[in-house]
């Protein structure tokens, strides 16, 4: 087998240069490296290859170029990009109609409710974690949104091929510290885009062009929708006053 390979490939080499395969390549990777090196020789100028200045070191360099090139590709593409958590702030969220988010325990849903005086204790406070994006998108910041005092986080994934918003319990919060862009955990991430002073939209990373939104009627469930839906997609996100106080 080795002699037949040598004979076949030697016919393809530049005139005056022979190729001898001392043993059969044991893997397809070895065959590919050999073919790449041979092609480099074929495409090189004949004079340098056949001149007296062409030595074993030159041939070795050509062989190694393909190996180094292959190694570089593996280095760049081997590990998937990651979202890395940077910091966390406590905040309150109201929609463009000044309705607060309220947790409905019986259905494990968030509702947008116009609270009356003295009912502020019903609104939820969110712990918003911000992330460094592996490939930054202009004017957006990836965030994860958890309900303060619980292990519940907002997530978006498809049910029956339609993106839906959920509250999911995360028992190991360290699992949200680093999130692979190719993992199912991206369902917990949203792109926060600021459109005005403290005014932002929240688009799902898992389901692009689907936004956290509230209904036109009061006390309805918070869902995700597309831009064309008759729902409110802008939110006033304010850092909680307790966090703004400086230590004495």
Sequence ranges of the domains in the chain:
28-43+56-70, 82-239
Residue 95, C-beta contacts closer than 8 angstroms, at least 6 positions apart: 112, 214, 232, 234, 235, 236
Q: Is the pTM of this model over 0.95?
A: no
Strand locations in 120-234 (E)? 126-132, 140-147, 152-159, 162-169, 178-180, 189-196, 199-204, 211-213, 220-221, 223-225
User: In the chain, which stretches have pLDDT less than 50?
Assistant: 1-2, 5, 9, 45-47, 49, 67-76, 245-248
Tell me if 84 sits within 8 A of 131, measured CB to CB: yes
User: d(Cα 54, Cα 87) in Å, to the nearest integer?
Assistant: 58
First to last CA, the chain: 83
Per-residue pLDDT at 21: 63
Per-residue pLDDT at 247: 47
Host H or E run for residue 5: helix 2-10
- Match domain 82-239 to its CATH number in 2.80.10.50, 2.40.10.340, 3.20.20.70, 2.40.50.100: 2.80.10.50
Per-residue pLDDT at 14: 57
User: d(Cα 140, Cα 64) in Å, to the nearest integer?
Assistant: 43
102: left (phi over 0), alpha (psi -120 to 50) or beta: beta
User: d(Cα 22, Cα 41) in Å, to the nearest integer?
Assistant: 19
Which contacts qualify for 105-110: CB closer than 8 Å, 24 or more apart? 107/221, 108/152, 108/167, 109/167, 109/221, 109/222, 110/154, 110/167, 110/221, 110/222
Per-residue pLDDT at 243: 60
């Amino acid at each position: 087998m080795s002699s037949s390979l040598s004979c076949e490939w030697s016919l393809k080499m530049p005139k005056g240069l022979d190729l001898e395969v001392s043993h059969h390549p044991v893997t397809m990777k070895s065959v590919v490296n050999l073919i790449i090196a041979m092609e480099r020789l074929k495409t090189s100028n004949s004079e340098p290859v056949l001149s007296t200045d062409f030595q074993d070191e030159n041939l070795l360099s050509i062989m190694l170029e393909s190996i180094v090139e292959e190694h570089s590709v593996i280095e760049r593409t081997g590990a998937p990009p990651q979202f890395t958590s940077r910091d966390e702030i406590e905040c309150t969220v109201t929609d463009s109609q000044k309705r607060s988010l309220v947790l409905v325990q019986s259905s494990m849903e968030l509702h947008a409710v116009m609270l009356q005086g003295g009912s502020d204790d019903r609104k939820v406070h969110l712990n918003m974690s911000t992330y460094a994006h592996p490939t930054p998108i202009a004017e957006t910041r990836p965030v994860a949104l958890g309900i303060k005092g619980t292990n519940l986080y907002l997530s978006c994934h498809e049910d029956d091929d339609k993106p839906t918003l959920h509250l999911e319990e995360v028992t190991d919060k360290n699992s949200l510290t680093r999130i692979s862009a190719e993992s199912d955990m991206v369902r917990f991430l949203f792109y926060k885009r600021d459109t005005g002073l403290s005014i932002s939209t929240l688009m799902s990373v898992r389901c692009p062009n689907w936004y956290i939104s509230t209904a036109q009627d009061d006390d309805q469930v918070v869902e995700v929708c597309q831009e064309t839906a008759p729902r409110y997609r802008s939110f006033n996100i304010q850092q909680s006053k307790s966090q703004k106080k400086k230590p004495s």
